């Protein structure tokens, strides 16, 4: 598995760790956090875990934590906040991504990816043999021994919208290798064959929000894993800017921040490249011909496409595609724009971009991934040529999605994003959550097209290229943020859930999702413009949310009226606003108004309550997190069949709900007392 930077590579940590003796219990007596259903929502989960990732190690480190002091076996050390952010939030996020794109089979097999197929045809070999050789080449480039590549992976190039996360067979927890003091490494950690989900219970449908949110997870982790080099002998990370020109291998260096993480970054990059190539050449809807196919002028990504598989149980592929819902949905579009922007930032090869990461440059120089044609990376767009390389494909999809948001969802007269379009006619509804996140997606787009750092460095300042497209994004961001300020915030400081552009009237309900959208959008506008009015407004909404929606009886925010019902989108949003509050909105010496809710300690208290109560839940069969893996402290120990060796309220995967257990993903819950 790919491990966080604080953790040692290989299996040393699992072997050395002991079961934690600290029992972590629920925070409130008589509190119930009941699971509503056990269906896996790909879009919501991958979105939430992207926010959990950003609210994990990057957040803890930004607040001054030395990540080296964290230990998965020492719950709540050095503090509950540090442990939850640096271990739980971060590792839940990573493991769930692998569950979807490498283990479950929740989509179409990478063997059938278009880039793999194209290369196999050129080489005159079978696609499965070609993919195997690609993996070996990747392993060599990062210095990972071939025999340490996980066995029986099910890498996907595009993912389905939903499925049943229960394991379809008994999970192989037999001992693979001995550890210390009775701890051992289970077989399923190195052989993924027992971790498949039931394909018959998958909704075989391609929805941009689902495969886009998965791409967001993949792109964020790939950017982290491949963002530097490492010493081939010691496996220690090396600043790529210090490397000399020429092959890194001749300098005793390898790609990636470590051999294990580098390999995962390679696999994720291969998956995203094939995904975007498939999307570009197959999934765009042309309203003129009323058919799907390759990207063309005026085409867009429709909301839902049904997949009929070819019946190949080993390497599932498409037999036919059929449009189920032709609408253009704003959520689909921003959940494609954001990850495509992140991925574009990795492989940006434009010659006039001075901010290019030298480590990424080595990944996309032709080995192991193809470089873009010179004509496609110069400053003259008129000489561009068709190509299947990662840079060109990502650029094509990115610019098309941006254009669709601008042409089908932006209402310039109103100054806001409209939630849906039937492809020809724009609707009338503005949704505060969707509009707020569209602002953040556009902020990432602006940074990507203007050549500024994205990923974990998306808050860093840099001199951008100041492109026309970047300016268009900025203009829409500021107008939408002003619309939130002027039309979507009530006198008591809460945001309303939406607005009807046809009637010129705001809604009256003040849901938690509305507060999340307003805070997310206003904070993004502040980060882009540095205009304090947006930060001030976001702070006021946060303070009002904390004052009016926090229920001390359940130690959580109510979501709508007195109800506290959380799905994955809600959980991801809460994680996001708590992170933003800690990084950008908390009280400083320069703030004339300093509400107690915006003191750092108060925000951290909310963060801990959220993860303990809502995510983990008060008991083993409650809470959103269905199960957990050894990265969060639940190690396997001989003679211990409890399925909960760390004594917290989240079970090991094989002991979770269902006959064979359940994957480590998020489930919807309702909180009652």
Q: How far is CA 633 from CA 66, 396, 613, in A?
A: 19, 42, 18
Average pLDDT of the segment spanning 381-402: 97
When computed from its CA atoms, the radius of gyration of the chain, rounded to whole angstroms, is: 24
What's residue 463's pLDDT?
87
| Preceding omega of 368 cis (within 30 degrees of 0) | yes
Residue 205's φ and ψ, nearest 5 degrees, are -140, 140
Mean pLDDT of 645-668: 97
Q: Taking 50 as the threshold, does the pLDDT of residue 271 lie above it?
A: yes
- Model pLDDT, residue 498: 98
Across the range 559-577, mean pLDDT stands at 98
pLDDT over 70 (residue 9): no
What's the mean pLDDT in 584-594? 96
What is the pTM assigned to this prediction? 0.95
Cβ-in-10-Å burial (0-12, 13-18, 19+) of 561 comes to: exposed
What's the whole-number mean pLDDT along residues 252-259? Answer: 98
Residues 6+ apart with CB under 8 A from 157: 107, 108, 109, 110, 112, 113, 114, 116, 271, 274, 275, 278
Is residue 551 scored above 70 in pLDDT?
Answer: yes
Ranges 20-24, 70-74, 88-92: which has the least confidence? 20-24
Q: Give the model's pLDDT for residue 180.
A: 82
Tell me how far apart the alpha carbons of residues 137 and 129 are, in angstroms, rounded to a whole number.
Answer: 12
Beta carbons within 8 Å of 144's beta carbon, 6+ residues apart: 259, 260, 262, 263
CA distance 148 to 566: 39
- When the pLDDT of each residue in the chain is averaged and rounded to a whole number, the result is 94
pLDDT of residue 29: 66
φ, ψ for residue 536 (rounded to 5)?
-60, -45
457 versus 138: which is more confidently predicted?
138
Give 16-50 pLDDT, tens digit per residue: 332 222 333 344 568 999 999 999 999 999 999 99
| pLDDT at res. 461 | 80
Q: pLDDT confidence of 305, banded at 50, 70, 90? A: very high
Residues for the chain: how many in total?
Answer: 673
The pLDDT value recorded for residue 459 is 78
Phi and psi angles of residue 594, each rounded to the nearest 5 degrees, phi first: -130, 80
Longest dimension (CA), the chain: 70
Average pLDDT over residues 236-252: 95
Over residues 500-522, mean pLDDT: 98
> What was the pLDDT predicted at 30?
84
């Amino acid at each position: 598995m790919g491990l966080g930077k604080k953790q040692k590579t290989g299996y040393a940590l699992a072997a050395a760790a002991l079961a934690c003796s600290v029992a972590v219990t629920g925070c409130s007596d008589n509190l119930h956090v009941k699971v509503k259903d056990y269906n896996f929502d790909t879009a919501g989960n991958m979105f939430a875990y992207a926010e959990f990732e950003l609210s994990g190690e990057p957040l803890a480190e930004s607040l001054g934590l030395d990540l080296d002091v964290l230990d998965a076996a020492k719950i709540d050390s050095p503090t509950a906040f540090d442990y939850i952010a640096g271990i739980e939030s971060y590792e839940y996020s990573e493991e769930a991504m692998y569950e979807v794109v490498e283990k479950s089979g929740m989509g179409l097999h990478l063997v059938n990816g278009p880039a793999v197929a194209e290369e196999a045809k050129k080489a005159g070999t079978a696609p499965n043999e070609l993919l195997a050789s690609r993996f070996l080449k990747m392993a060599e480039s990062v210095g990972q021994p071939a025999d340490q590549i996980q066995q029986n992976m099910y890498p996907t190039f595009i993912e389905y919208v939903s499925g049943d996360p229960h394991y379809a067979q008994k999970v192989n927890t037999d001992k693979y290798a001995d550890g210390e003091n009775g701890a051992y490494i289970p077989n399923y950690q190195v052989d993924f064959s027992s971790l498949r989900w039931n394909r018959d219970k998958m909704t075989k449908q391609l929805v941009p929000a689902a495969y886009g949110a998965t791409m967001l997870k993949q792109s964020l982790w790939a950017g982290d894993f491949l963002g530097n080099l490492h010493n081939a002998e010691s496996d220690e990370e090396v600043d790529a800017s210090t490397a000399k020109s020429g092959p890194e291998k001749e300098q005793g260096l390898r790609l990636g921040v470590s051999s294990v993480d580098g390999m995962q970054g390679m696999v994720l990059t291969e998956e995203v490249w094939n995904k975007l190539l498939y999307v570009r050449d197959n999934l765009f809807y042309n309203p003129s011909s009323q058919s799907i196919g390759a990207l063309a002028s005026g085409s867009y990504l429709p909301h839902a496409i049904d997949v009929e598989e070819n019946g190949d149980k080993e390497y599932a592929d498409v037999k036919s595609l059929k449009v189920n819902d032709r609408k253009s949905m704003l959520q689909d579009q921003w959940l494609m724009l954001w990850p495509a922007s992140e991925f574009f930032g990795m492989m940006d090869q434009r010659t006039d971009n001075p901010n290019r990461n030298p480590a990424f440059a080595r990944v996309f120089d032709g080995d192991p991934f193809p470089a873009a044609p010179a004509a496609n990376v110069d400053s003259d767009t008129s000489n561009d040529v068709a190509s299947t390389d990662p840079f060109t494909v990502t650029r094509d999809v990115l610019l098309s999605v941006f254009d669709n948001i601008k042409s089908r969802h932006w209402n310039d007269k109103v100054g806001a994003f409209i939630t849906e379009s039937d492809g020809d006619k724009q609707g009338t509804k503005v949704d505060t959550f969707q509009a707020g996140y569209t602002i953040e997606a556009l902020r990432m787009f602006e940074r990507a097209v203007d050549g500024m750092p994205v990923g974990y460095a998306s808050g860093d300042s840099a001199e951008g290229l100041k492109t026309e497209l970047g300016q268009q994004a900025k203009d829409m961001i500021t107008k939408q943020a002003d619309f939130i300020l002027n039309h979507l915030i009530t006198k008591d400081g809460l945001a309303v859930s939406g607005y009807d552009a046809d009637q010129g009237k705001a809604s009256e309900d003040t849901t938690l999702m509305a507060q999340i959208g307003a805070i997310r959008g206003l904070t993004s506008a502040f980060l882009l413009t540095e205009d304090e009015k947006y930060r001030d407004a976001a702070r006021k909404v946060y303070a009002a949310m904390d004052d009016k929606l926090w229920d001390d009886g359940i130690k959580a925010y109510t979501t709508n009226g007195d109800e506290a019902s959380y799905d994955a989108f809600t959980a991801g949003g809460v994680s996001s606003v708590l992170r933003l509050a800690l990084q950008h909105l908390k009280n400083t010496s320069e703030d004339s108004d300093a509400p107690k809710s915006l003191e750092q300690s108060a925000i951290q208290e909310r963060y801990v309550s959220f993860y303990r109560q809502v995510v983990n839940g008060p008991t083993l069969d409650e809470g959103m997190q269905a199960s957990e893996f050894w990265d969060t402290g639940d190690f396997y120990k001989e003679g211990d069949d409890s399925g909960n060796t760390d004594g917290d309220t989240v079970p090991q995967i094989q002991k979770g709900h269902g006959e064979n257990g359940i994957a480590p993903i998020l489930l919807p819950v309702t909180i009652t007392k």
